[in-house]
Structure 1
Amino acid sequence: MKKIGFLSFGHWSESPGSQTQSAADTLLQSIDLAVAAEELGADGAYFRVHHFARQLASPFPLLAAVGAKTSRIEIGTGVIDMRYENPLYMAEDAGAADLISEGRLQLGISRGSPEQVIDGYRYFGYVPADDSTDADMARQHTDVFLTAITGARFAQPNPSPMFPNPPGPLGIEPQSPGLRDRIWWGAGSRATAEWTAEQGMNLMSSTLLTEDTGVPFHQLQAEQIERFRKAWTDAGHPREPRVSVSRSIFALTDDRDRAYFGRGGREGDQVGVIDNTVARFGRSYADEPDKLIEQLAEDEAIAAADTLLLTVPNQLGVEYNAHVIESILTHVAPALGWR
């Protein structure tokens, strides 16, 4: 059995073919797609976070709204760039969104991806300390955030407060029990996956890795997952971790599918440069259901993960993206033993 959800980048544009002409369109349709996905039997609604772009950015209002409109589906991010975050304010937002959704928040965080602007986190007021990098800053923010959501009490109370305080130092409120176990790190390499395990976070792996060993992407990603699980065991954490991978997968079941994706999805991996580092990008999948099943059966990383996130073309609208999700759940997942 495998949990299957969707991952939306939340693009909008004024181009004639876009069903999301504005930020309002994207936000409201994101809620509607989560509701539709839950009704179809999908397991998760995840949203990408990009700053300084016509894409979804501030995630917590959206997550809270989705949580209020749904009752079962997991809601999450893939991923929040921790270089930009006030970790204590984020802890408050995350606790509130998790309580609204009654414990369904699955929060993906990371050092982030290449940006729309140079050092965009500086505009948000965050600058790496001397002799440290932006990645170090992201991990420091993460440490503060994780400490806060586990109930640490560190703030000296006012001796003359507006409202009575409990004894001792104060911590961030609200607290949501179990949230710490539902934090994921977006790891772009095998070494980062091992660090993720050591920190006790779940592993979120996407369609690129910032390294290349010459083997196919899905095999390199499967090795990343294997190393993560070994490091988790070595760290002695008491619970079982979770692992997600994301893929662009389209079952060609009608004329719309063939018009949009009938000529794509059969290419192989690509190797390029990202952040001045050689990276390997995984392929997309688009084919008739029977052929798609054969191709996906060979993807070792999907087989190793417990959660699969389907990247959806959100600008094609809610109805079509619900169809994309339903096609995978109906025509592909059962044959592969995912459902």
Structure 2
Amino acid sequence: MKSLGFLSFGHWSPSPHSGTRSAGDALLQSIDLAVAAEELGWDGAYFRVHHFARQLASPFPLLAAIGARTQRIEIGTGVIDMRYENPSYMVEDAGAADLIAGGRLQLGISRGSPEQVIDGWKHFGYEPAAGETEQDMARRGTELFLERLSGQGFAAPNPRPMFPNPPGLLRLEPHAEGLRERIWWGSASNSTATWAAQLGMNLQSSTLKWDETGEPFHVQQAKQIRAYREAWKAAGHSRQPRVSVSRSIFALVDDRDRAYFGGDERDGDAFGILEANTRAIFGRSYAAEPDQLIAQLKQDEAIAEADTLLFTVPNQLGVAYNVHVLAAILEHVAPGMGWR
């Protein structure tokens, strides 16, 4: 059995053709979809974070609100760009959201992808240190975030504090016990997957990665997952890690599905240049009648390797239609795949 979650980019557009026309719509509909997904029996509600875009951006108010409205479903991100984050403030925000949710936060973080503006992190007040790249800055912030998330004291107390202190060095509050083990790293390469394993983070692998071998996307992604697990074992961690992959998967069960997705299936990988001298490979999307869809998914090596599968949802088509999409997966696909 796999853990099944949805992944929303939280797009919104003032277009009359959009069912999500404002930032408020995107946020409130995200909460409603998470509540409905829990009622259907889904395992996770995950949200992408993009800055300077008509998409979801600041995740913690949304995660806390969903945590207050739900009881069981995991609540996560995929991913937060660490080039934009203050690690200490993030520890406090994440701790508060996790406590509100009763320990259900699954926080995906990464060094980020190309953004809407040039060097957007500079507008948030962050700069790489001398000799650093922006990727180095993100990984340095991640290591500090993980260190302070552990709950160990590090700050010397004021000898004349406003309120009494516990003995010893002080930690950031509120502390969420166990959250350190529920941090995921979004990796686009084998090397950063190995680095994440060494630091004891779970692995998120999306619908793109760097084209490192020329093989089909799902084969490269499966090899990335195996390399991650080997590095995890070599690091000697005591717990079992979790690994997620994300896919665009639609079961065509009525005329609406066929109208929206029946003619748009991308049945092969695609390639693009996201950064200078680096070719990315993008995995295919899946849209087919249930029996055909099951047969296709059984050929995806990375889906077979992962324990968690995130389904991207077309959030601008509205909550009701997305509930239909999620229900169709559970009813018509999950049993045939052995996921339920």
- TM superposition score category, shorter chain reference: over 0.9
Corresponding residue for 2:243?
243
List per-residue Cα deviations over 1:262-293 (Å, max 9, x = no partner). Answer: 11224200111111210110000000001000
Instruction: Tell me the percent identity.
Output: 71
Alpha-carbon distance between aligned partners in 2 of 1:212 and 1:249, rounded to the nearest angstrom: 25
The yes-or-no answer on 1:290 pairing with 2:288 is no
Counterparts of residues 49-128 of structure 1 (less than 5 Å): 49-128=49-128
Structure 1 residue runs of 5 or longer lacking an equivalent are none
- The 2-side partners of 1:70 and 1:118 are apart by 38
Partner deviation per Cα, 1:144-172 (whole Å, 9 max, x = no partner): 11111101211121121110111222110
CA distance, structure 2, for counterparts of residue 215 and residue 17 of structure 1: 38
* Paired residue secondary structure (1:209): strand
- In structure 2, the partner of 1:205 is 205
Q: Secondary structure, in 3 states, of the residue corresponding to 1:46?
A: strand
Find the residue that maps to 1:159 and give its secondary structure. Answer: coil
Instruction: Give the 3-state SS of the residue equivalent to 2:79 in structure 1.
Output: strand
* Deviation per residue, 1:103-131 (Å, 9 max, x gap): 10000000001110011001100000000
Q: 2:311: which partner in 1? A: 310
Rounded to whole Å, the distance in 1 between the matches of 2:169 and 2:177 is 20
Amino acid of the structure 2 residue aligned with 1:282: G
Bigger mean CA deviation after superposition, 267-276 or 71-80: 267-276
Task: Give the alignment of 1:251-290 within 5 angstroms.
Answer: 251-276=251-276, 277-290=278-291
CA shift, 1:191, in A, is 1.1
Counterparts of 1:210 and 1:338, CA distance in 2: 28
Cα distance in 2 for partners of 1:70, 1:167 equals 36
SS of 2:92 mapped into structure 1: helix
Which structure 1 residue ranges, 4+ long, deviate > 6 Å from structure 2?
none
Aligned residue pairs, count: 339
What's 1:227 paired with? 227
158-167 or 60-69, which moves further after superposition?
Answer: 158-167
2:136 & 2:186 partners in 1: Cα distance? 15
What's the CA shift for 1:212?
3.6
2:47 alignment partner AA? F
* 1: CA distance, partners of 2:118 / 2:289: 42
Does the aligned pair in 2 maintain the 1:218–1:299 contact within 8 Å? yes
Per-residue CA distance 1:62-94 (angstroms, 9 max, x = gap): 000000000000000000000100000000000
Equivalent position of 1:31 in the other structure: 31
Q: Secondary structure at the match of 2:78?
A: strand
Which amino acid is the alignment partner of residue 70 of structure 1? T
Measured after TM superposition, the shift of residue 17 of structure 1 is: 1.2
Aligned-partner SS, 1:108: strand
Alpha-carbon distance in 1 for matches of 2:68, 2:18: 27
Q: Which residue of 2 aligns with 1:21?
A: 21
Cα offsets for 1:287-329 (capped at 9, x unmatched): 0001000000000000100000000000000000111111111
**In structure 2, what is the Cα distance between the partners aligned to 1:321 and 1:113?**
26
2:191 match: secondary structure: helix
- The equivalent of 1:299 in structure 2 is 300
Q: Is residue 210–residue 274 contact of structure 1 (8 Å, CA) maintained in 2?
A: no
**Unaligned ranges ≥5, structure 2:** none
Deviation at 1:235, TM superposition (A): 0.6
RMSD value, Cα: 0.7
Q: Distance in 2 between matches of 1:188 and 1:52?
A: 22
Aligned to 1:335: 336
Q: Work out the CA distance in 1 between the residues paired with 2:325 and 2:3.
A: 16
- How far apart, in 2, do the equivalents of 1:162 and 1:101 lie? 30
TM-score normalized by structure 2?
0.99
Per-residue deviation, 1:188:
0.3
Once residues 26 and 51 of structure 2 are traced to their aligned partners in structure 1, the CA distance between those partners, rounded to angstroms, is 15
The TM-score, its normalising length taken from structure 1, stands at 0.99
- Helix, strand or coil at the partner of 2:312: strand
Contact 1:264 1:285 in 2 (8 A): no
**SS of residue matched to 2:226:** helix
Structure 1 stretch displaced more, 154-163 or 329-338: 154-163
